[in-house]
Amino acid sequence: MRFALMIEPQQGLRYGDQVAIAKRAEANGFETLFRSDHYQSFPGPEGRPTTDAWAVLAGLARDTDRIGLGALVSPMTFRHPGSFAKVVTTVDEMSGGRIEVGVGAGWNELEHRQLGLPFPPIGERADLLEDTLAILHGLWGEPDGWSYAGHQVSIEEARFHPKPVDVPGRPRTPIGGARPRILVGGGGTPRSYRLAARYADEFNLNTKSPDHTRAAYAEIDAACRAIGRDPGTLARSVMVGVLVGRDDAEVSTRVAAAREAFGSDADDVAWLEERTTRWITGTPDQARGAARRYEAAGAERIVLQDFLPWDLDMIDVMGEALIAGR
């Protein structure tokens, strides 16, 4: 099992906070640090400071050494596909080829409205996502002169240089180069399965129990077979909330802190019970048991979604419990 860390900087994280988290994650052996791509603060209080995901990732590319970096996921309602491809390639070069690219259709209507960003119906957003996936493959992997006529975006006789960094282990392109790994994520819809089967290197399922995870992976297997793709060529991951401590007392302290961060009126026991089946929670033995259940369901990587980002010691606990003992 492989582990990545996911943070939600719209909780009020400044750039310096994110550097500290990235360095702690790197020291603990996480393979990738993902951050969300949101402009308004949640969960919890509104109006806290937020930062742009790809501006931050550019900084982290220079302020870290080994850890992979990415957004999970960037909504294409925020980013024009051609410009997005150029931004990602630039940050990729700055990082020495450590970028992973998660893309989605977008969902938070409020933050679009507050910044004047269009928020069309889901069908149109999914069309834009499909265009984006096709354009990333084309701009990064097709020869000069490549063109594309999509649902909403067209490309004419592209000249896209430089290409992404060519480092070992990356997907190869038709013209002999390499590109970042592409993740399609979400709660699991038929179209997301189809898009992942056609374009993605990894399908990331969002906050589901192991039983739901197993069922979703069966659907993605079917979507791959429907287009003649070997399901084994599409990696599987799951993003799950995490709340762990070295002992019961640490867990209780963190449950109280997380409940407060979410602004919940429930008591600590009820708040935790509602999440236990779909989060990794508890002491190290309990956390390892939960991780094994996701592994048995077919997950190859667990993305641990951390809602207590200032608690750097919890990153150490994750490293001790889940990474060091592998």
Distance, in Å, from the CA atom of 100 to the CA atom of 130, rounded to the nearest integer, reads 18
Give 199-209 pLDDT, tens digit per residue.
999 999 998 89
Q: Where are the alpha helices (DSSP H) in 96-205?
A: 109-114, 122-141, 190-199
pLDDT digit string (tens) for 36-57?
999 998 888 888 999 999 999 9
| Residue labelled with tokens 């996701």 | 294
- Residue 225's pLDDT is 98
Token pair recorded at residue 37:
């791509």
SS (H, E, C) 125-156: HHHHHHHHHHHHHHHHHCCCCEEEECCCCEEE
Contact 195, 213 (CB under 8 A): no
Give the CA dihedral 222, 228, 233, 238, nearest 10 degrees: -30
Give residue 31's pLDDT. 97
pLDDT tens for residues 55-92? 999 999 999 999 999 999 999 999 999 999 999 999 99
Domain that holds residue 180: 2-323
Residue 187 pLDDT exceeds 80: no
> Tokens standing for 264?
């919940």
Between residues 326 and 258, the one the model is more confident about: 258
> What tens digit of pLDDT does each residue of 315-325 get?
999 999 999 86
Total of domains in the chain: 1
Structure tokens that stand for 172 in this block = 């190869």
pLDDT score, position 208: 85
Instruction: Compute φ and ψ for 260, nearest 5 degrees.
Output: -65, -40
Query: Model's pTM, two decimal places?
Result: 0.95
The answer to whether the beta carbons of residues 48 and 10 sit under 8 Å apart is: yes
Q: pLDDT for 252-303, tens place per residue?
A: 999 999 998 888 887 888 888 888 889 999 999 999 999 999 999 999 999 9
Question: Domain of 38: which CATH number?
Answer: 3.20.20.30
How many other CB atoms are there within 10 angstroms of residue 228's CB atom?
7
CA distance 296 to 143: 41
Helix, strand, or coil (residue 256): helix
